Amino acid sequence: MSIKGHIRSFTHAVQFLTRLPTPRIDVFDPSELSRSAFWFPLVGALIGAIVGTALWFGALASPWIGALLGLVAWVWVTGGLHLDGLGDVADALAGAHRTPERFLQILRDPHMGAFGTMAITLQLIAKVLLLGVLAMATPASALVAPLVLIAAWARLGPAVWSIAVPPLAAGSGERFSQHLDPRVVAAEAAVLALLSGWIAPVLFAAVIVIPGIAVYWRYRLGGVTGDCLGAGVEVTETILLLLLAARMA
């Protein structure tokens, strides 16, 4: 791919995963979503840096103010993209009764149900509490790098799940898997594993958490959708936050 092509793919990754301003892409090529996956961990690192900086700034006043600002930054910079997927999947799992067809039917319903609302609420509570515990247990400046890694690992997840689990239906999940290269994904995982071993060894658990989520989707549904990928990102972030907080507390 040319330098111009890489810039376009990176721009698309930033546009898809964040609300950060980027150059406008006038013509959207669906295959670009898959090619941009190369940049997902880097964009995740950028998200983690923003969250960590907000936490650091707020913690100058109070650990819990830092936690609140970190959570607000997390939701703002991502636009709640993966939270929406988590809510939709929670509703669909609750009403599907292990039937993939029923799961997809509920997933297409634009309305949020009780289970989706509860899942999003619990996710936000979990994140703010874990960020608060982390800010109380260690200087906030030391949390920026681990948060960068957590967000990067979580956004490597969709590529792993798309390679390991077939798409459940046509849509963004199917398009995302079209041009993924397992060798590139493995190389990115190796880089993140090395950085985790240097900065926060407990985050090496991601090499178990991410494949574990793939096993769950294959066992539970036999496939994944775009919403499943988003939900997996949120679950990965919370599990890694929990492990980091348990290690540092």
Per-residue pLDDT tens over the stretch 149-190: 999 999 999 999 999 999 887 665 566 777 789 999 999 999
Confidence band, pLDDT 50/70/90 cuts, at residue 105: confident
Give the per-residue pLDDT at 87: 96
Per-residue pLDDT, 249: 74
Task: State the chain's mean pLDDT as an integer.
Answer: 91
> Which residues have a Cβ under 8 Å from the Cβ of 247 and sit 6 or more positions away?
200, 202
Give residue 99's pLDDT band: very low, low, confident or very high (50, 70, 90). confident
User: By C-alpha distance, which of 38, 35, 39 is closest to 175?
Assistant: 35
Residue pair 128/75 in contact by the 8 Å Cβ criterion:
no
> Any bridge partners for residue 167, and if so which?
224
Q: Are 226 and 171 in contact (CB under 8 A)?
A: yes
Would you tell me how many other CB atoms lie within 10 Å of the CB of residue 27? 5
Q: Tokens representing 204? A: 């090496």
pTM over 0.85: yes
Let me know if 197 is exposed, middle or buried by CB neighbors in 10 A (0-12, 13-18, 19+).
Answer: exposed
Sign of the dihedral through C-alpha 186, 187, 189, 194 = positive
CB 176 within 8 A of CB 34: yes
| pLDDT at residue 2 in the model | 64
Residue-range domain boundaries for the chain = 39-244
Other Cβ atoms less than 10 A from the Cβ of 215: the count is 12
Q: Which of 92-106, 135-149, 170-184, 213-227 has the lowest mean pLDDT?
A: 170-184
The owner of tokens 């041009």 is 179
Question: Is residue 208 predicted with pLDDT exceeding 60?
Answer: yes
Q: Are 33 and 172 in contact (CB under 8 A)?
A: yes
Average pLDDT (129-155) is: 96
